[in-house]
Amino acid sequence: MTETITYSHHYIPLTRDELVARLREALKDKRFNHVLRVEQTAIKLAKVNGVDIEKASIAGLCHDYAKQRPDQDFIDEIHRRGLDPELLNYGNAIWHGVVGAELIKDELGIWDEDILNAVRHHTTGAATMSPLEQVIYMADYIEPARDFPGVEKAREITAKDLGAGVAYQTKQTLEYLVERNSPVYTKTLETYNAWVPAYQKEID
Ligand SMILES: [Fe+2]
Ligand SMILES: [Fe+2]
């Protein structure tokens, strides 16, 4: 069942319907449906982890807002805002979160730093993540249409302990990148060091 949250805390100058309409314009069908599922998963995780469900709804819907922008938009933003030049060595997978958060601020009028950080860190994680950031990081990974080896284990671990879910996902992501000889964004390594050794027992 879809849960529709009424926005009343002014984290965003839009109603949920208006926000959904903006995402409908910004995203292709497949991605649009994904963000709706991430929102619902985030609301569920928020409830059991004592996180603000309005923030979970907004961050869940917005996390991939910039996913389908052309690379040049991100490159321009990195220069214009003086963001970390290391970002230029990566691509859409990193940019749509880290740089996407800046676009969300400007274009959707969201200034709540917790929501922005949840968007910023949804693919890389971070050494320190608020409960909302953890909720979005995990909701994106385990939403019901996700189907990859290990997703059931990720769901089980996350249901028991949100932080252990963060550790599990981070380890899987790092393994995936290393197996493919891909570069690892510095922040992803920081996430690994902060979370994986701390949850050794829970994720084995
Ligand atoms: Fe994403
Ligand atoms: Fe996503």
pLDDT digits 0-9 by tens, 36-62: 999 999 999 999 999 999 999 999 999
If you measure from the C-alpha of residue 140 to the centroid of ligand 2, how many angstroms do you get, rounded to a whole number? Answer: 5
pLDDT digits 0-9 by tens, 76-128: 999 999 999 999 999 999 999 999 999 999 999 999 999 999 999 999 999 99
If you measure from the C-alpha of residue 123 to the centroid of ligand 1, how many angstroms do you get, rounded to a whole number? Answer: 6
Superfamily of domain 16-147: Hypothetical protein af1432 (1.10.3210.10)
Long-range CB contacts (within 8 A, 24+) of 187-194: 187/121, 187/124, 187/125, 187/126, 188/124, 188/125, 190/126, 190/127, 191/124, 191/125, 191/126, 191/127, 191/166, 193/127, 194/126, 194/127, 194/128
> Does residue 29 have a pLDDT over 80?
yes
> Does residue 33 have a pLDDT over 90?
yes
Ligand with the closest atom to the CA of 136: 2
Q: What is the pLDDT of residue 204?
A: 87
> Does residue 1 have a pLDDT over 90?
no
**Mean pLDDT (whole number) for 189-195:** 98
Q: What is the pLDDT of residue 131?
A: 98
Q: Provide CB contacts within 8 A for 32, sequence distance 6+.
A: 23, 24
If you measure from the C-alpha of residue 67 to the centroid of ligand 1, how many angstroms do you get, rounded to a whole number? Answer: 7
pLDDT digits 0-9 by tens, 132-166: 999 999 999 999 999 999 999 999 999 999 999 99
If you measure from the C-alpha of residue 43 to the centroid of ligand 1, how many angstroms do you get, rounded to a whole number? Answer: 17
Please report where in the chains the tokens 């003086």 appear, as a residue: 82
If you measure from the C-alpha of residue 121 to the centroid of ligand 2, how many angstroms do you get, rounded to a whole number? Answer: 11
**Mean pLDDT (whole number) for 188-192:** 97
The residues placing their C-beta within 5 Å of ligand 1, an ion, are 64
Ligand with the closest atom to the CA of 139: 2
Q: E strand or H helix at 24, and its extent? A: helix 16-26
- Ranges of each domain in the chain: 16-147
CA separation for the pair 120, 29 (Å, rounded) = 23
Q: What is the pLDDT of residue 2?
A: 86
